Structure 1
């Protein structure tokens, strides 16, 4: 495969998943330039994340699978993504319904996953089988962790009485799931598929349920319903 083909193959899964979750917004899609900005921020996070991970591995080592999975890999990556979404979009006027948190968190997560995929492709080469495997596992994994992050950010913003609790959930639950994902791959190196298949199935089921729940809680649902009633 030539350079352009490899690049397109590495980018396609992230863009496809972003489009999927973007279009799942039932009531008011987000400004595309803002989604693109968050996606680019996710891309830009990869290099500092790699630098910090290498520093931590030199300081504390990466031999302990639990430490690597939950702190050096999952913990650091999800914290950086959460930090960007919280500081750039949480108070933004465009974040005006619970599902918006999902869109923006997924955009950052898939920006991160896309550059990771590109670096992997150029470092290791890419085949149809490896492309499919990475689309089903690390790329979709980042998207699903982003849905979880965004879902609880949406709850935090629109349930102010429990804002602190849901903000903590928006950070620590993605870390927990991301860490578990990495831990399975590290510990079950030879038979990981038997653990990863039910893990990803459960994660997808929970994700789709959260997508529906976030849409159902949109304040725009009532407004649109009233408009349709008047028109009818």
Structure 2
């Protein structure tokens, strides 16, 4: 690693305090809202299902929850999103989105009951649930687009935020389903069957649905769209999200051969979604390589550094190099920060390419370059 040429003066934290403070306040308020919503939903579940049933159901629901979080982490490995934003996303799904769906369902039941009718279970499953639940989950992605625009660069970010929200929603929903079976039939065959269906066969169902909305909003972010474009993408993304959700609920309800429907319809859709994720992740790596190449032409990186940072194998090689140095802990931490900041720099440059400015003219870009310079000094120190 060579010392970067002097070209842009690093910007200190004090020059960014207002922006950082505003984002910190927004993150704190969002997380607080999510925590309150989760507590309220849990109290509701405990009142309906009992504390013991909710506790057992929560332990069971943790299994698919951890699995999907590991998958989301894999998707998010290239350019990790800010931890507070991800925490907000999970809490929004587990608390706010569930609360909105429960409140809407209660309102429907009250209206139908007042008119002397009975709710149509099938209509609720294929119309109400897809529209309300996907609308509530997608709203969380839209809020992140509006508030966390600095870290919302494209489809991968949209998918990561959307699937994090969906993971939280599925966790709470699984507690509800598992708790109902426990309350009605105890810890027996019915509980095992429900766990297998929801925890083994369909842990990624909600992720698949909401990822459509996240992808659409991510495309709006990639194109440099503003608040209105984000809202339009939200509405557009809700269409496939609700359709897939309805297809899942209605298909499984009507299919004579449930396993055959699952293997013949849902599995191919899931594999198609996996292919889309692989494509957008590969494109994210290509953007990093191309944009950092422009910084190499300006003297900020060597071609060898770009190769190390912009490929998975190069990153592993860089971390192995750090581990072999005299102070491996400090070197590894600095290398990890440099790789992350350089990746963010590539995406910041991608935004600039859309016509907003030129290299060195935005605070975000200068701050990242300053941090990269500082970490390079740590890496080159004896």
Whole-angstrom distance in 1 between the partners of 2:219 and 2:153: 12
Name the structure 2 match of 1:38.
Answer: 89
Aligned-pair distance for 1:128? 4.1
Which shows bigger deviation, 55-64 or 15-24? 55-64
Runs of 4+ in 1 over 6 A off after TM superposition: none
Aligned-pair distance for 1:223? 4.0
Of 212, 237, 240, the match for 1:170: 237
User: C-alpha deviations, 1:183-210, integer Å up to 9, x for none?
Assistant: 112223x533322222221221121112
Q: Which has the higher contact order (CA 8 A, sep 6+)?
A: 1
Of 176, 185, 192, the match for 2:258: 192
Whole-angstrom distance in 1 between the partners of 2:224 and 2:292: 24
Within 5 Å, which residues of 2 pair with 1:138-149?
138-149=202-213
SS at match of 1:214: helix
**Do the aligned partners of residues 42 and 160 (structure 1) sit closer, same or farther apart at CA in structure 2, a change above 3 Å counting?**
same
TM-score between the two structures when normalised by the length of structure 1: 0.84
Does residue 229 (structure 1) correspond to residue 303 (structure 2)? The answer is yes
Whole-angstrom distance in 2 between the partners of 1:7 and 1:128: 14
Of 162, 178, 186, the match for 1:121: 178
Within 5 Å, which residues of 2 pair with 1:100-115?
100-115=157-172
Name the structure 2 match of 1:213.
Answer: 279
SS at match of 1:139: coil
Q: Which stretches in structure 1 are left out of the alignment for 5+ residues?
A: none
Whole-angstrom distance in 1 between the partners of 2:292 and 2:119: 52
Q: Which stretches in structure 2 are left out of the alignment for 5+ residues?
A: 1-51, 113-117, 308-382
Mark the structure with the bigger radius of gyration.
2
- Do 1:90 and 1:157's aligned partners in 2 also have CA atoms closer than 8 Å? no
**Do the aligned partners of residues 104 and 90 (structure 1) sit closer, same or farther apart at CA in structure 2, a change above 3 Å counting?**
farther
Which shows bigger deviation, 36-45 or 15-24? 15-24
SS at match of 1:209: helix
**Do the aligned partners of residues 228 and 69 (structure 1) sit closer, same or farther apart at CA in structure 2, a change above 3 Å counting?**
farther
Name the structure 1 match of 2:67.
Answer: 16
Which shows bigger deviation, 112-121 or 127-136? 127-136
User: C-alpha deviations, 1:7-55, integer Å up to 9, x for none?
Assistant: 2221220221122122223521112232121101111121331221232
Within 5 Å, which residues of 2 pair with 1:63-74?
63=120, 65=122, 67-74=123-130
Name the structure 2 match of 1:89.
Answer: 145
User: C-alpha deviations, 1:101-122, integer Å up to 9, x for none?
Assistant: 1111001111111001112222
